[in-house]
């Protein structure tokens, strides 16, 4: 691309810039930009980098708390887990690339999120992922599942970070836009946390990692537009991952970080060299000058435009203290990584790029951030749905069939086929993972007696029916997941996946979900410390269901005092904490058994309300029971209600479970209702009375609902199935689906 | 009791091996970078799992040509006990220290799960501590664990008691369900399962402890 390219209105439009935005550029530069400068403004002001549709709403989130060291705004969030340890974590989407090229899209999503974490000085200790695919009958679904799973495994397994958990849903709403949200959790020393600000003029700027190629140019812009039938043509904008280089990069960065050489460091993610250099300079209040001839290049004749917009993977940018150059060269050479000093910081506040002895870009840095569009898009709330009274929802014609159907439906069915392709144990600290079907993964803090608990969750059907209530619920469910294993919930990261924000009803879903999430964060003292937004998840005008995925992290003080599902033993009593009215609106029972979502039925009812005060009280109580060893197993009640919860406990412990009815609630609503804020506990016979009476003294509802033991999973007057039959149904769906030939 | 772990670029179970050896011997192992030309004076060497060189070319093929391997071969001939787990097993076969090769799993998929095994030879230097216990469970986590060798080699391995572990429920298509073998002298063990991930009740169980105690106790 020659510098002679004339900046016509068409060129401006191709760069995704509006006329008004282009006017601002002309004003700030006092002249017409050249193509390189236009490209830089274009990516910095893209939805993906500038959060122009979401920024004003995200600003409302609770982002501080007693354990928050760094909230949103850095590469990842940082929390304090005591003893000078910090946990650094973030979740990020790689949706658009994964739909176009599932293996590489998912692999580079995992690579990118790990870089966000180790760039801050943390060794990644666990990966999670939240995946959403189209309906199983859609012709692309199977190959997308196979590709995404292989990509996540191929990258994470090679780098040697355990993939410890996640969630996978299937729904027609994702037929044209799958969601691949990857989360990484890392461990650092609090006095060795690194930030991105490039403070001070005259400091050397270093490039390390892979060479720059022509891959992924304009990936950030791709993630800022809808798909249409020609999306396959965007394949060249998907990047290719190299986990081997990533592993070397982690080790080399850790080695350099152990010295005092680094002033600022950032990975080159979306919009590559552009966003990393601009953001580092902007945060440090300095200018930056780069000689593009020094950038390690994989291809010949690359133009400045291509180098600045390339999204080649496994690259980092760092600003070092003067005099530390040789130290850096030695370390990166040892790890056989490309390393180059490509420029220096300046006191001009400008981004200056040189190429073949010419200046090819000279623009002020501040407007790239300060003047980025901050839109107040129109939004309309989702209309209120009717409440479905339990008595208005019919019971199943055959409870055994209903139970088998729910336990083998794609959302509840075992995801073993997926997680057996992930190394869950590498690094020697995984205490609990997908393997046990628990509510949260547990990873020990290496060499200590404490552990972090990690979960991801989202119930899109609730968010679709009522974004505000759904937003509250997703935060509350992750809180519950962490409490279920005995962890103190500390903070969350989020990945907000929505359709086209230019449509007021979609923007209304976004605003509603953020409002509900924020309410829950504040009520539960559970702040947001990092996250990302993925909009335009829409194909040919059909948007995905609103999907604000949340990743929660909590702390277990003493590894001996945690709970899983597996601990339930024969003779234990099942106790339910929390109130049950039998809420069937937006339930799995409604969808799978009553067919509420079928196009010819299309009944959407209000989702279960979340009582945040009792959520907090129930969580505290369950954590205390685990600490005091008053329970043998804990599981939250979520999708599919009490029935699914008791069945899953049976799968994990190998013991049958039998439930009894509740006189005041219709049987099917009692078993399958999805009332929130509930936990199913397995309690030793001798502890039952104190567990119930103490709960009641705290204003919590608690009642005996059944027993552990025997070979069957049953509920009085409803279903009675052998554990093995039910487990076969639950385990069989996904491998069967993946083995089918089209 | 001194031990060492050889570290290649993108070895990634080096920490797993380090933790296990430290726990069992009470002393941190020496971590040896692959560019070293001489192994330190130790009693036992572990070649850890992982994806040395990204598994590029073939699993273990590039690592098997590292500088440290010549000294390793010399010391193996003098009887130094060595164990390679997972990628370490692949490196040992690629280096010609153990016979055979590890091909892609029959399912073509990476597989990670607790794997029941049968101890076939309880008199090997790596299994005496099990006192005749036949069944153990170690985690497996690999993509290329499908053990293959020609018939003559397999017959020889079987006859000499060099097959030490067999899968109980073959996960990857290995000939004769072979999970782990030794060299003819019996001082080198290669196996796809991870005993070093089974030394902690909170992480993978404890069935691996006796393997390390066997080899270290026999010294």
Q: How far is A414 from chain B (nearest CA, A)?
A: 15
* Nearest C-alpha neighbor of A309 from the set A183, A220, A380: A220
Name the pLDDT band for A237 (thresholds 50, 70, 90).
Answer: low
- b (16+ CB within 10 A) / e for B182-201: bbeebbbbbbbbbbbbbbbe
pLDDT of residue B217: 86
pLDDT at A288 over 80: yes
Name the residue of chain B whose CA is nearest to A435's CA. Answer: B113
Q: How far is B185 from chain A (nearest CA, A)?
A: 31
Report the pLDDT averaged over residues A3-9.
Answer: 80
Chain segment A334-377, per-residue pLDDT in tens: 999 999 999 999 999 999 999 999 999 999 999 998 899 999 99
Question: Helix A399-408 crosses helix A723-739 at what angle (to 10 degrees)?
Answer: 50
Strand order across the A68-70 sheet = A68-70, A77-80, A85-93, A179-189, A123-133, A163-170
List chain B residues with CB under 8 Å of A425.
16, 112, 139, 141, 194, 197, 203-204
Chain segment A399-435, per-residue pLDDT in tens: 999 999 999 999 999 999 999 999 999 999 999 998 8
- CB–CB of A431 and B113 under 8 A? no
Report whether A178 contacts A133 (CB < 8 A): yes
Report the pLDDT averaged over residues A311-320.
Answer: 95
- Chain B interface includes A562 (CB < 8 A): no
Catalytic residue IDs of A: 48, 94
Option in A150, A244, A421 nearest B111 (CB): A421
pLDDT of residue A145: 98
Please give the Cα distance from B23 to B208 (Å, whole number). 12
* Nearest C-alpha neighbor of A434 from the set A447, A445, A423, A446: A423
Query: Which domain does B187 fall in, by range?
Result: 3-217
What's the total number of domains in chain B?
Answer: 1
pLDDT at A217 over 80: no
Option in B13, B51, B196 nearest A244 (CB): B51
Structure tokens at A309: 């917009």
Q: How far is A249 from chain B (nearest CA, A)?
A: 10
Probe site for chain A from B113, B137, B139, B203 (most A CB atoms < 10 A): B203
Q: How many Cβ atoms are within 10 Å of A261's Cβ, its own excluded?
A: 19
Please give the Cα distance from A408 to A133 (Å, whole number). 17
- Chain B interface includes A160 (CB < 8 A): yes
Cα separations in angstroms, A266 against A287, A493, A577, B175, B208: 16, 19, 45, 48, 41
Name the residue of chain A whose CA is nearest to B21's CA. Answer: A428
- CB–CB of B9 and A159 under 8 A? no
pLDDT of residue A1: 43
- CB–CB of A160 and B110 under 8 A? no
Q: What percent of chain B has pLDDT over 70?
A: 99
pLDDT of residue A239: 83
pLDDT of residue A488: 98
Contacts of A209 (CB under 8 A, 6+ apart): A245, A249, A268, A314, A315, A316, A337, A338
Q: Where are the alpha helices (DSSP H) in A560-611?
A: 588
Q: Which helix (H) or strand (E) holds B209?
A: helix B209-217
Please list the residues that pair with A288 across neighbouring strands.
A345, A351
Chain segment B9-52, per-residue pLDDT in tens: 999 999 999 999 999 999 999 999 999 999 999 999 999 999 99
Q: How many Cβ atoms are within 10 Å of A546's Cβ, its own excluded?
A: 28
pLDDT at A3 over 70: no
Q: Which residues of B have a CB under 8 Å from any CB of A?
A: 9-10, 12-13, 15-16, 19-20, 49-51, 53-56, 109-114, 139, 141, 143, 194, 196-197, 200, 202-204
Whichever domain contains B32, its CATH number is 3.40.50.880
* Nearest C-alpha neighbor of A249 from the set A233, A265, A229, A271: A265
Q: What percent of chain A has pLDDT over 70?
A: 96
Report whether A99 contacts A231 (CB < 8 A): yes
Secondary structure (DSSP) of A120-145 = TTPEEEEEEEEEEE--TTSTTHHHHH
Q: How far is A437 from chain B (nearest CA, A)?
A: 14
List chain A residues with CB under 8 Å of B196.
428
pLDDT at A227 over 80: no
Chain segment A32-44, per-residue pLDDT in tens: 999 999 999 999 9
pLDDT of residue A271: 82
List chain B residues with CB under 8 Å of A335.
9
- CB–CB of A430 and B51 under 8 A? no
Option in B51, B112, B196 nearest A158 (CB): B51
Give how far the C-alpha of residue A470 lies from the chain's centroid of Cα atoms, to the nearest Å: 16
Chain segment A644-660, per-residue pLDDT in tens: 999 999 999 999 999 99
- Chain B interface includes A336 (CB < 8 A): yes
Give how far the C-alpha of residue A644 lies from the chain's centroid of Cα atoms, to the nearest Å: 25
- CB–CB of A158 and B54 under 8 A? yes
Report whether A477 contacts A636 (CB < 8 A): yes
pLDDT of residue A225: 66
pLDDT at A2 over 60: no
**DSSP-based three-state secondary structure for A34:** coil
- b (16+ CB within 10 A) / e for A370-397: ebbbebebebeebeebeebebeebebbe
Please give the Cα distance from A354 to A371 (Å, whole number). 25
Q: Which helix (H) or strand (E) holds A553?
A: strand A547-556
The reported pTM is 0.96
Q: Where are the alpha helices (DSSP H) in A557-640?
A: 588, 612-627
Structure tokens at A132: 């959403």
Secondary structure (DSSP) of A292-322 = GGGS-BSSSS--HHHHHH---SSEEEEEE-T
- Chain B interface includes A162 (CB < 8 A): no
pLDDT at A603 over 60: yes
Backbone angles phi and psi of A451, in degrees to 5: -150, 160
Chain segment A680-697, per-residue pLDDT in tens: 999 999 999 999 999 999
Name the pLDDT band for A269 (thresholds 50, 70, 90).
Answer: confident
Report whether A314 contacts A241 (CB < 8 A): yes
Q: What is the 3-state secondary structure (H, E, C) of B76-109?
A: HHCCCCEEEECHHHHHHHHCCCCCCEEECCCCCC
pLDDT at B163 over 70: yes
Radius of gyration of chain A (CA): 26
- CB–CB of A425 and B202 under 8 A? no
Please give the Cα distance from A551 to B172 (Å, whole number). 34
Probe site for chain B from A154, A422, A423, A563 (most B CB atoms < 10 A): A423
Q: How far is A589 from chain B (nearest CA, A)?
A: 32
Please give the Cα distance from A419 to A128 (Å, whole number). 11
Name the pLDDT band for A240 (thresholds 50, 70, 90).
Answer: confident
Q: Is position B112 annotated as part of the catalytic site?
A: no
pLDDT of residue A436: 85
Chain segment A554-567, per-residue pLDDT in tens: 999 999 999 999 99
Give chain A's mean pLDDT. Answer: 95
Q: How many Cβ atoms are within 10 Å of A661's Cβ, its own excluded?
A: 16
Please give the Cα distance from A244 to A248 (Å, whole number). 6
* Nearest C-alpha neighbor of A527 from the set A517, A537, A536, A516: A517
């Amino acid at each position: 691309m020659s510098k002679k390219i004339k900046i016509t209105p068409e060129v401006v439009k191709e760069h995704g810039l509006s006329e008004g935005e282009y006017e601002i550029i002309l004003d700030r530069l006092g002249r017409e930009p050249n193509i390189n400068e236009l490209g830089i403004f274009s990516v910095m002001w893209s939805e993906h980098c500038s959060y122009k549709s979401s920024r004003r709403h995200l600003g409302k989130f609770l982002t501080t708390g007693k354990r928050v060291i760094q909230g949103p705004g850095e590469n990842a969030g940082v929390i304090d887990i005591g003893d000078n340890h910090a946990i650094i974590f973030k979740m990020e989407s790689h949706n658009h690339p994964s739909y176009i090229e599932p293996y590489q899209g998912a692999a580079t999503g995992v690579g990118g999120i790990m870089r966000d974490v180790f760039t801050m000085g943390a060794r990644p200790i666990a990966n999670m992922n939240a995946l959403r695919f189209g309906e199983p009958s859609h012709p692309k679904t199977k190959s997308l599942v196979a590709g995404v799973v292989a990509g996540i495994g191929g990258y994470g397994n090679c780098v040697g970070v355990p993939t410890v958990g996640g969630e996978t849903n299937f729904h027609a709403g994702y037929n044209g836009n799958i969601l691949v949200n990857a989360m990484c959790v890392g461990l650092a020393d609090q006095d060795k946390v690194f930030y991105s600000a490039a403070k001070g003029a005259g400091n050397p700027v270093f490039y390390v990692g892979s060479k720059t190629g022509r891959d992924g140019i304009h990936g950030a812009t791709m993630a800022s537009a809808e798909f249409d039938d020609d999306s396959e043509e965007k394949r060249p904008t998907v990047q290719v991952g190299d986990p081997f280089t990533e592993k070397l990069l982690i080790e080399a960065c850790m080695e350099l970080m152990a010295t005092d050489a680094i002033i600022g460091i950032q990975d080159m993610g979306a919009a590559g060299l552009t966003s990393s250099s601009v953001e580092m300079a902007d945060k440090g209040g300095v200018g930056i000058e780069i000689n593009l001839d020094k950038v390690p290049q994989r291809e010949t004749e690359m133009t400045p435009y291509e180098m600045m917009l390339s999204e080649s993977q496994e690259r980092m940018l760092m600003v070092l203290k003067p005099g530390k150059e040789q130290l850096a060269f030695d370390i990166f050479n040892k790890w056989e990584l490309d390393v180059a000093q490509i420029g220096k910081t300046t006191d001009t506040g400008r981004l200056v790029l040189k190429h073949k002895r010419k200046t090819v870009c000279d623009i002020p840095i501040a407007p790239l951030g300060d003047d980025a569009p901050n839109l107040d898009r129109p939004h309309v709330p989702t209309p209120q749905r009717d409440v479905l009274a339990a008595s208005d929802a019919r019971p199943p014609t055959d409870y055994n069939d209903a139970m088998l159907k729910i336990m083998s439906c794609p959302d509840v069915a075992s995801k073993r086929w997926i997680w057996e392709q992930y190394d869950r144990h590498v690094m020697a600290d995984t205490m609990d993972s997908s393997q046990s079907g628990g509510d949260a993964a547990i990873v020990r803090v290496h060499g200590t007696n404490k552990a972090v608990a990690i979960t991801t969750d989202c119930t899109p059907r609730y968010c679709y029916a009522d974004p505000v209530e759904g937003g509250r619920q997703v935060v509350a469910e992750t809180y519950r997941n962490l409490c279920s294993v005995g962890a103190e919930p500390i903070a969350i990261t989020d990945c907000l996946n929505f359709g086209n924000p230019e449509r007021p009803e979609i923007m209304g879903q976004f605003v509603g979900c953020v409002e509900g999430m924020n309410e829950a964060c504040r009520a539960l003292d559970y702040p947001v410390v990092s996250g990302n937004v993925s909009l335009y998840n829409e194909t040919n005008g059909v948007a995905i269901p609103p999907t604000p995925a949340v990743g929660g992290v909590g702390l277990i003080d003493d590894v001996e005092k945690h709970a899983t599902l597996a601990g339930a033993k024969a003779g234990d009593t099942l106790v339910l904490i929390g109130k049950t009215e039998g809420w069937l609106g937006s339930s799995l029972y409604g969808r799978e058994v009553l067919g509420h979502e079928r196009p010819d039925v299309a009944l959407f009812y209000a989702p279960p309300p979340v009582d945040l005060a009792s959520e907090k009280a129930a969580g505290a109580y369950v954590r205390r029971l685990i600490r005091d060893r008053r329970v043998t197993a804990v599981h939250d009640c979520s999708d599919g209600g009490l029935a699914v919860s008791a069945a899953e406990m049976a799968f994990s412990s190998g013991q049958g479970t039998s439930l009894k009815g509740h006189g005041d609630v219709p049987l099917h609503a009692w078993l399958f209702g999805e009332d929130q804020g509930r936990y199913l506990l397995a309690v030793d016979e001798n502890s039952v009375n104190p567990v119930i009476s103490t709960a009641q003294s705290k204003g919590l509802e608690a009642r005996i609902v059944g027993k552990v033991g025997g070979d069957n999973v049953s509920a009085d007057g409803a279903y009675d199935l052998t554990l093995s039959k039910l487990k076969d149904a639950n385990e069989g769906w996904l491998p069967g689906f993946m083995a089918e030939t089209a | 009791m001194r031990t060492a772990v050889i570290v290649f670029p993108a070895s990634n179970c080096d920490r797993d091996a380090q933790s296990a050896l430290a726990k069992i011997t009470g002393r941190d192992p020496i971590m040896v970078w692959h560019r070293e030309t001489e192994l330190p004076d130790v009693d036992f060497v572990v070649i850890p799992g992982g994806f040395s060189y990204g598994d590029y070319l073939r699993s273990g093929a590039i690592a098997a040509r590292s500088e440290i391997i010549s000294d390793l071969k010399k010391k193996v001939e003098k009887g130094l006990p060595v164990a390679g787990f997972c990628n370490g097993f692949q490196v040992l076969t690629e280096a010609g220290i153990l016979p055979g090769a590890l091909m892609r799993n029959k399912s073509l998929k990476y597989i990670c799960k607790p794997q029941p095994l049968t101890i076939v030879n309880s008199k090997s230097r790596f299994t005496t501590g099990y006192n005749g216990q036949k069944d153990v469970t170690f985690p497996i986590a690999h993509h290329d664990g499908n053990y293959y060798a020609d018939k003559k080699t397999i017959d020889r391995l079987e006859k000499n008691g060099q097959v030490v572990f067999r899968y109980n429920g073959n996960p990857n298509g290995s000939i004769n369900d072979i999970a782990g073998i030794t060299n003819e002298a019996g001082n080198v063990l290669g196996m796809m399962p991870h005993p070093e991930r089974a030394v902690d009740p909170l992480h993978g169980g404890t069935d691996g402890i006796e393997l390390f105690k066997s080899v270290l106790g026999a010294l």
